[in-house]
Structure 1
Amino acid sequence: MIKYKYRLFALICFLSGIALSAQEKKQFPNISVVLQNIIPDVKNNSWILIHKSYGKDNIIKQSGEKKDFESQSLGFNIGIADGDSFYYIVDFSKGKPEYITDLMGLGKFVGKVDNIYDAAVFAATEGYIIDEEFRDLAANYYQDSTNYYLDLGKLTSKECPYQKKHFTLTIPKSGEKILNVKENGSYIELYNKKCTNNPRLLKLEKKEEPKDEPKKSNKSTKRR
């Protein structure tokens, strides 16, 4: 009886350990690695992933035979947008090259969620980003047997103030939808001198202007 209880206890501890390790948060690798590990919806063995930086094309993944393609002037990013750096995909699944240069096209290329990297791409089509500068807040994930849970950022204001918030998204495995969105608050708020709602400027405006000192009388006292 004692041996049975001990074995049962050991089994419970083992299963609990598996459950906890499955829910342990992990940080996303860099954007390039995430995109290299996506699984296209169509079983496509012929596509190229290119990172263009300052006008130079760098092939970071090539699936299938090397084929010619034309350099693109526009592309996508699932992190912080940078006009001098972006990604694009050349898809040869239909024989001739087709260029994927925006997030909607990337989402269609990936299709249903097959792994955590697909989930990150799907979230990016909804405006969320992997923020590599703030990995603890907006670039990590964990999973259980049913869902992926992604902590990602989102640019919520380009006006005054420039603002980013972070969220926890629940995305089902082998799905194409977001089950739940939990807002975790702002982690960046930047004001500039032109922001009329800058708290610092408002405080300065509330300060009273210094009063002028009373003028001294210039009249001299006359003796009688």
Structure 2
Amino acid sequence: MKKITSKIILFAFLISGILMYSQNKKKFAGIPGILQRIIPNDKVDFWVLVYNSYGKDQEIKISGTKMSYTPQFSGFDIFPEEDSFYYIAYSSAGKMDYVTDLATLKSFIGTIDNVEEAAIAATIEGYMVDEEFKDVAGNYYEDKSNYYLDLGKLTSTECPYQKNHYTLTISKTTGAITNVKDNGTYIELYNKKCKNNPRLLKLEKKEEPKDEPKKSTGATQRK
């Protein structure tokens, strides 16, 4: 009886732990929301996050007293899209400077101060917050020591287009990725150009010309 009771208690603890973990998982905000949570590593007088889409600038966040800056014609994107990018203009010690690529973004962020910066740092390493599939590749959980991020990654840009999702453990002390768990493929897409597209292969089989039935010759000729 004691064994059965102890097993029930252990099972209850396991279930409660799983439920607590799932309840504590939070979905990331959109990409602009993540970038707005940046805390610059060095002291800056002013900085602005700008989103450029099809050649038009939109100021997403302004911190400090706004200063004039030069619009940029290239930038970074932590979820690559065509015809759009972000850049940061900032002033430090009276000098205006710009963040237009992932390397300078990493330097601008410096020490990881929050889970959003942890996500950006992971993105610089090739991972991504997938806004279309946040349940598997756009959420996180944290404890006193680590951030636990569920993120996606492009594993094939050729046919088929494929994404995998991972759980990354990131140390709050060092900002380093200490563990990566591969959770497998969550999306696999074929396009019209894919030679190995199963749908196209089926269509090709249907379109294959069939042998025409032999026509009857009618009555045989008499010699």
Structure 2 Cα separation of the partners of residues 22 and 43 of structure 1: 37
SS at match of 2:120: helix
Q: Give the residue type in structure 2 aligned to 1:157.
A: S
User: Structure 1: which amino acid aligns with 2:115?
Assistant: I
Give the match for residue 20 of structure 1: 20
**CA-to-aligned-CA distance 1:85-119 (integer Å, 9 cap, x gap):** 22111121242211101112111110121110110
Q: What secondary structure does 1:179 align onto?
A: strand
1:132 corresponds to: 131
Contact 1:112 1:174 in 2 (8 A): no
CA displacement 1:167-208 (0-9 Å, x = unmatched): 111111132321111122222222123212222344556778
Cα deviation code 1:57-78 (max 9, x no counterpart): 2222222221111101111122
2:39 aligned with 1:54:
no
Matched letter for residue 51 of structure 1: Y
Any idea what SS the aligned residue of 1:97 has? strand
Equivalent in the alignment of 2:176: 177
Distance of 2:216 and 2:109 partners within structure 1: 82
Structure 1 residues 183 and 174 mapped into 2: Cα distance closer, same or farther (>3 Å)?
same
1:3 maps to none
Q: Which residue of 2 aligns with 1:83?
A: 82
SS at match of 2:42: coil
In structure 1, C-alpha distance between the alignment counterparts of 2:44 and 2:136, rounded to whole Å: 34
Q: Distance in 2 between matches of 1:194 and 1:53?
A: 27
Structure 1: any 5+ residue segments left out of the alignment?
1-12
- Is this contact kept in 1: 2:45–2:93, CA < 8 A? no
Rounded Cα–Cα distance in structure 1 between residues aligned with 2:84 and 2:192: 28
Match of 1:106 in 2: 105
How far, CA to CA, are the matches of 2:178 and 2:31 in structure 1? Answer: 24
Task: Please give the residue correspondences for 1:132-211 in structure 2 after superposition, counting only pairs within 5 Å.
Answer: 132-203=131-202, 210-211=210-211
Gaps of 5+ in 2: 1-12
Alpha-carbon distance, 1:141 to partner: 0.4
Mapped contact 2:51–2:58 kept (Cα < 8 A) = yes
Give the 3 Å change call, closer, same or farther, for CA 73–204 of structure 1 in structure 2: same
Instruction: State how many pairs are aligned.
Output: 207
**Matched-pair contact (CA < 8 Å) for 2:122–2:128:** yes
Structure 1 residue 36: deviation in Å? Answer: 0.9
Instruction: Measure the CA separation in 2 of the matches of 1:22 and 1:162.
Output: 29
2:69 aligned with 1:69, yes or no? yes
Shift of 1:53: 2.4
1:217 CA displacement: 2.8
TM superposition shift of 1:156: 1.9
Query: Does structure 1 retain, via aligned residues, the 8 Å contact 2:77–2:85?
Result: yes
Alpha-carbon distance in 1 for matches of 2:175, 2:93 = 24
